[in-house]
Chain A
Amino acid sequence: MTIETATEKKLSDMPDENGHFGQYGGMFVAETLMEPLEELKRAYLMYMQDADFLAELDKDLSDYVGRPSPLYLAERMSRELGGAKIYLKREDLNHTGAHKVNNTIGQMLLAKRMGKTRIIAETGAGQHGVATATVAARLDLECVVYMGAEDIQRQALNVYRMKLLGAKVVSVESGSRTLKDALNEAMRDWVTNIDNTFYIIGTAAGPHPYPAMVRDFQSVIGREAKQQILKHEGRLPDALVACIGGGSNAIGLFYPFVDDQDVSMYGVEAAGHGLETGEHAAPLCAGKPGVLHGNRTYLMEDQHGQIIPTHSVSAGLDYPGVGPEHSWLKDIGRANYVSVTDTEALQGFHDLTKIEGIIPALESSHAIAYVKKLAPTMDKDQIIVVNLSGRGDKDIHTVATIDGIEF
């Protein structure tokens, strides 16, 4: 026995082999899905150690997605806020316009190696659906995307993009007709077609191994950001900021820094009309632990355990749960979870557009809105890295409508 073997377990060693992050995560699914999830777990564990797989993934991320994405110093924004230096991790510049494609590329390569011929996905804002339809087109696989009827209305542009890419978009009319119901419906499809179908979950939630797998595919964001900030500044940042719906872009940025205790982490939830109104999508800030979509995590629920409707101006954040790793990071105090309202997010959208010439997605605008509060409280020699998880083209129509403009 050496002294090294006695060292404490690192935070990055999570989850355990059954997908638990402390009391969160796990595999809370009906029996029919247990074996397919085990099969997926075996494939994921094997290929994440497989040199050929990783080489193909790297090649696709660089040549098809356009990685590494730049880490951009937002000089004017930093100056105007009068505090910390603000760097933007430009996931908005990825092919398909958001971080989502990092994960769909990875899962699609896994699907191909597992011999699956049919791909299904759920989507909220449509970014994950577009990213899935894109990679399915490239590999000539049948693709079905489930989307809440409400979201289909809000994100008509992305619906058309998916159709152009050859995907079938199924409108989900059950429940609240949003992202959570799309996820239910995709699960029902999967359980019915498990022999030939691979379900690409878009966020770091769902039953094990999805939260860990999605995190691992999205961690390219944080790994690059770490190298880039060391190159630019010669040191690690003081704070990381990212928006949180299910939490995949946030965990992708946070995870490679999770053992660097001096780096603060801020996950920004959607406060919608305000936490006090109950009309929001902020389970970490205002919810309670429960079990939904295959994992134990913070949820928006009533006193009887029914999941309650959420609200956010941003369809991608409009989800009553959150990835289980975030629930755990909250409870152990490693990450801070905060929220901004629709109004603040919209202001963030306009600010970044005018100040830096970058139109952010409404999801990412939540992170920008929080940076506006955080940066002025910090010193000029401190550094914030914010994940600009997607571009705002898909939201132009929504913002215009709110601003009273008709095309």
Chain B
Amino acid sequence: MSRIKNCFEQLKQQNKTALIPYVSAGDPNPDITVELMHAMVASGADIIELGVPFSDPMADGPVIQKASERALIYGTSLTDVMGMVSTFRESNSDTPVVLMGYLNPIEVMGYEKFAQQAQDAGVDGVLTVDIPPEEAGTYIPALRHCNLDPIFLLSPTTTKERMKIICQHASGFIYYVAVKGVTGTLALDTEEVSRRLDVIKEVTDLPVGVGFGIKNADSAAAIGQVSEAVVVGSALVNLVEKNALDNDKIIKEISRELQSMRRALDS
């Protein structure tokens, strides 16, 4: 069984919502990433989403754009990111890790080579923002061959017909983008999200995580009422930016924020 599937099954038994923090690998420097991953697990993260820096993050708002830029100052490459996962796996064999990024670095490496290296490093799922299933061709088979879950986005504009197609190709979980917009967008309407999740549940049995717009413990708890997972990105990356010169402080602040979200989700 995949680590992601196993994770969701265990949480279901415990009647808990998955907390999925996102950080950009190599932000604000490559030294912090593995330590930060362990700290997030200790603070209640169930799955870690690790951003692969890209020069042109078209779907991201300013907060995650800047994270990519900081990581690229150190030349953090896709290979480097997989190296970080590999190091993380030396002392954590349970927490699923999902790589989130854009297609071009994977395209340049080659789908098969990427999938093999990701599997060897201990990656569990891959979310590539700019590859819809229509364009996925050999990308999905390459991931499946290496037991990696292809994770896809659904959005407020996705028709039910497309949802079916997308869910046929997806495994692990479905990522529902809760707002029309880029990452870090304000305003999230829990009732609207709940209505959309009902539709998604008609087409798939996969767990659904909700992201884009979860700012704090309150919004995490609200969304956690209606979904199996909440994804928190920009709110955490903001803390990296604010404390960019102090790795210890970044870890402390992010841990505190996640602990507060964990408590809110569990109460």
CA distance A175 to B108 in the complex (A): 20
With known contacts A304-B77, A305-B78, A306-B55, A31–B155 Cβ distance under 8 A: yes
B11 adjacent to chain A (CB < 8 Å)? no
A11 adjacent to chain B (CB < 8 Å)? no
CA distance A296 to B104 in the complex (A): 9
| Most chain A CB inside 10 Å of its own CB: which residue of B61, B78, B103 | B103
- In the complex, chain B residues whose CB is within 8 Å of the CB of A292: 56, 104
CB neighbors of B among A29-54 (8 A): 29-36
With known contacts A175-B69, A306-B54, A290–B180 Cβ distance under 8 A: no
Q: Per-position contact with B for A301-325: 1 when CB-CB < 8 Å, else 0?
A: 1011111100000000000000000
- In the complex, chain B residues whose CB is within 8 Å of the CB of A299: 104
B42 adjacent to chain A (CB < 8 Å)? no
B107 touches A290 (CB 8 A): yes
B55 touches A194 (CB 8 A): no
B135 touches A34 (CB 8 A): no
B206 adjacent to chain A (CB < 8 Å)? no
- In the complex, chain B residues whose CB is within 8 Å of the CB of A195: 180
The total number of A-B Cβ pairs within 8 Å is 124
Q: Per-position contact with B for A171-196: 1 when CB-CB < 8 Å, else 0?
A: 00011000011001001100111110
CA distance A305 to B75 in the complex (A): 11
B59 adjacent to chain A (CB < 8 Å)? yes
B30 adjacent to chain A (CB < 8 Å)? no
| Most chain B CB inside 10 Å of its own CB: which residue of A32, A174, A175, A187 | A32
A31 touches B108 (CB 8 A): no
- In the complex, chain B residues whose CB is within 8 Å of the CB of A191: 59, 180-182
Q: Per-position contact with A for B64-108: 1 when CB-CB < 8 Å, else 0?
A: 011001001001011100000000000000000000001111111
B54 touches A35 (CB 8 A): no
A30 touches B55 (CB 8 A): no
A168 adjacent to chain B (CB < 8 Å)? no
Contact of A188 among B104, B109, B129, B182 (CB under 8 A): B182
- In the complex, chain B residues whose CB is within 8 Å of the CB of A382: none
CB neighbors of B among A275-310 (8 A): 288, 290-294, 296, 299, 301, 303-308
With known contacts A31-B152, A191-B180, A192-B180, A307–B61 Cβ distance under 8 A: no
Interface secondary structure of A, over-half rule: mixed
Contact of A34 among B57, B157, B180 (CB under 8 A): B157
CB neighbors of A among B159-195 (8 A): 159, 162, 166, 177, 180-182, 185
With known contacts A28-B103, A34-B158, A174-B69, A305–B108 Cβ distance under 8 A: yes
Q: Per-position contact with A for B125-147: 1 when CB-CB < 8 Å, else 0?
A: 00001111011000000000000
With known contacts A28-B135, A32-B157, A303–B108 Cβ distance under 8 A: yes
With known contacts A174-B69, A175-B56, A188-B58, A29–B157 Cβ distance under 8 A: no
- In the complex, chain A residues whose CB is within 8 Å of the CB of B129: 30
A35 touches B55 (CB 8 A): no
B162 touches A30 (CB 8 A): no
B56 touches A184 (CB 8 A): yes
| Most chain B CB inside 10 Å of its own CB: which residue of A193, A288, A292, A294 | A292
With known contacts A34-B132, A34-B158, A192-B181, A304–B65 Cβ distance under 8 A: no
Chain B nearest Cβ from A270, distance in angstroms: 20
CA distance A34 to B180 in the complex (A): 12
CA distance A149 to B168 in the complex (A): 43
B103 touches A307 (CB 8 A): no
A interface size (C-beta, 8 A): 39
With known contacts A27-B134, A32-B177, A191-B180, A305–B104 Cβ distance under 8 A: yes
CB neighbors of A among B17-65 (8 A): 54-62, 65
- In the complex, chain A residues whose CB is within 8 Å of the CB of B62: 174
CA distance A301 to B102 in the complex (A): 14
Residue of A with least CB distance to B175: A31
Chain B nearest Cβ from A205, distance in angstroms: 13
With known contacts A292-B104, A305-B108, A18–B59 Cβ distance under 8 A: no
B78 touches A304 (CB 8 A): yes
Contact of A291 among B104, B159, B177 (CB under 8 A): B104
- In the complex, chain B residues whose CB is within 8 Å of the CB of A245: none
Contact of B157 among A26, A36, A303, A304 (CB under 8 A): A36
Q: Per-position contact with A for B205-234: 1 when CB-CB < 8 Å, else 0?
A: 000000000000000000000000000000
| Most chain B CB inside 10 Å of its own CB: which residue of A27, A187, A305 | A305
Residue of A with least CB distance to B109: A305
B157 touches A291 (CB 8 A): no
A27 touches B56 (CB 8 A): no
CA distance A292 to B134 in the complex (A): 17
CA distance A294 to B134 in the complex (A): 13
- In the complex, chain B residues whose CB is within 8 Å of the CB of A294: 130
B240 adjacent to chain A (CB < 8 Å)? no
CA distance A370 to B131 in the complex (A): 38
Chain A nearest Cβ from B129, distance in angstroms: 5
Contact of A26 among B58, B60, B135, B185 (CB under 8 A): B135
CB neighbors of A among B105-129 (8 A): 105-109, 129
B4 adjacent to chain A (CB < 8 Å)? no
With known contacts A174-B62, A188-B182, A304-B77, A35–B105 Cβ distance under 8 A: no
CA distance A303 to B107 in the complex (A): 11
Residue of A with least CB distance to B65: A174
Chain A nearest Cβ from B118, distance in angstroms: 15
Residue of B with least CB distance to A181: B56
- In the complex, chain B residues whose CB is within 8 Å of the CB of A36: 157
* 9 closest A-B pairs by CB: A305-B108, A305-B105, A32-B155, A192-B181, A304-B77, A31-B153, A35-B157, A30-B59, A305-B104
Q: Could you tell me which A residues sit within 8 Å of B by CB distance? A: 18, 26-36, 174-175, 180-181, 184, 187-188, 191-195, 288, 290-294, 296, 299, 301, 303-308
Q: List 18 A-B contacts (CB under 8 A).
A: A28-B131, A29-B58, A30-B177, A31-B158, A31-B177, A32-B153, A32-B177, A34-B155, A34-B162, A35-B159, A174-B66, A188-B182, A194-B180, A304-B75, A304-B108, A305-B105, A305-B106, A306-B55
